[in-house]
Amino acid sequence: MIQVLGVWFRRYLSHPQAVLLLILLLLGFTVIFTLGKILAPMFAALVISFLLEGSVCGLTKSIKTPRLLSVWSVFMAFMALLMFILLIMLPLLSLQLSQFLQEVPNWIMTGHSLLLQLPERYPDFFSIEQVDRIITDARSKTNDFAQMLLSYSINSMPLLITFLVYLVLVPVMVFFFMKDKTLILGWLKGFLPAEHTAAQRIWDEMNKQMGNYVRGKFYEILIVGSGSYVAFTFMGLNYAPLLGALVGLSVVVPYIGAAVVTFPVVLVAYFQWGWGSDFLWLSAVYFIIQALDGNVLVPLLFSEAVNLHPVAIIMAVLVFGGLWGFWGVFFAIPLATLVKALLAAWPRLSIEEDNFSSLPAPLSKKF
């Protein structure tokens, strides 16, 4: 066993480039696990900087503007969008959410009456005891949800303070990350040894993949959310802005998000129209949007991304989401791509080299 471990160690961890990659990985994980919450504004600013870097490079290359002028132009556009979200979209969505929550008790009463009719209509499948048990469980879950909302509203002051801190720090860091990108990257490279080709190759690949992913995910959220809002408004669905925003944000979590957000969309449609043609049309339009997103929009936006199996994506969402919450979920696909790139580019000895190095000293001298 010890000999097998020794051979594995020589093959995968004896190369200087492999040792450097291992140190960088351990250092990165240590910083994230120990200082993740403290550095959360910096991580958010890095994500936004990746998102805006494409526009900065586009302005610099297409119309030959100086980078500083491009940075200022893109940053001012970002601030205008941020003000639109804070002053117009958030108040509208909060009003919609308040109205939605006020409507929930009426839906519960309607569902209660429908459940009581099940034993009469389908006595072979439902008994009164089963319906009473379902109603009791539903009431318990509703009470737990109400208590959770109450505790959340009571404890929302620290979250509000954190949001205000983010609102000040993140835009400032976004500007300086874009403005001093070359300076910051040069400073970080100064800590690396002169020979770091493997780390540089992985960095170049992940820089490209991460930028493509962040920009593609932003465009996907915008397109899917806007398209859902227009479709829901055209069909007269209640809470169209709120549901459109939920559908747009659901694409952050591949596969799982679409399944979760389907429930509120179908629920609102059912309690508004019942089992009628409007409900069926709305359901058909919603599933068409989901199909177009998965089969047309995602391949177009993420055509340059490394192909990953759906099972690998779901595992990445579960693992990284459990480790780092929202950001782990958001970056599940790039992080899975990073793991794949590391495995592919990890320096290792060939089998011949490994066999040669394991030969006895007198025999190896003959070669």
pLDDT higher than threshold 70 for residue 201: yes
Tell me what pLDDT residue 364 has.
Answer: 40
User: Residue 181 sits in which domain range?
Assistant: 42-188+205-307
| pLDDT beyond 90 at 36 | no
pLDDT tens, 312-345?
A: 777 877 887 777 776 677 777 777 777 777 776 6
CB contact at 8 A, 12 and 18: yes
Q: Is the dihedral of CA 133, 137, 143, 147 positive or negative?
A: positive
Q: Which of 52-56, 296-300, 336-340 has the highest mean pLDDT?
A: 52-56
Name the DSSP class of 276.
S
**41 pLDDT higher than 90:** no
Q: Is residue 75 part of a domain?
A: yes
Residue 361: the pLDDT is: 43
pLDDT value at residue 285: 92
Domain assignment present for residue 146? The answer is yes
The proportion of the chain whose per-residue pLDDT surpasses 70, expressed as a percent, equals: 69
Extended beta strands in 46-106, E state: none
Task: Tell me the DSSP string of 168-185.
Answer: HHHHHHHHHHHHTHHHHH
User: What would the two tokens of residue 297 be?
Assistant: 């929009």
- Which structure tokens are listed for 13? 């961890």
Could you tell me if residue 80 is inside a domain? yes
Residue 19 reports pLDDT greater than 90: no
- Read off the pTM: 0.68
Going by pLDDT thresholds of 50, 70 and 90, the confidence category of residue 142 is low
Instruction: Give the model's pLDDT for residue 357.
Output: 47
pLDDT at 95: 84
Asked if the structure places residue 13 within a domain, the reply is: no
User: What single-letter amino acid sits at 290?
Assistant: Q
Hunting for tokens 């006895």 — which residue is that? 360
Report how far residue 275's alpha carbon sits from residue 286's, in angstroms, rounded to the nearest whole number: 16
Q: What is the mean predicted confidence (pLDDT) over 49-55?
A: 82
Give how many domains the chain has, as a whole number.
1
Q: For residue 138, is it within any domain? A: yes
87/125: higher pLDDT: 87
Residue 242 lies in a domain: yes
Mean pLDDT for 174-187 is: 86
Q: What is the DSSP string of 107-170?
A: HHHHHHHHHHHHHHH-TTT--HHHHHHHHHHHHHHHHHHHHHHHHHHHTHHHHHHHHHHHHHHH
Identify the CA nearest to 348 among candidates 171, 198, 230.
198
**Least trusted range by pLDDT, from 76-85, 290-299, 306-315:** 306-315
Token pair in block for residue 249: 């944000």
Mean pLDDT, the chain, rounded, equals 76
Q: Rounded mean pLDDT of 93-110?
A: 77
Place of tokens 């479709």: 231
Identify the pLDDT of residue 363: 38
Mean pLDDT computed over 257-281? 86
**Alpha-carbon 266 to chain mean position:** 24
Examine residue 16 and state whether it is found in any structural domain, yes or no.
Answer: no
pLDDT of 362 reads 43
Residue 315 lies in a domain: no
How much is the average pLDDT of 195-215? 71
Query: What pLDDT score was predicted for residue 65?
Result: 79
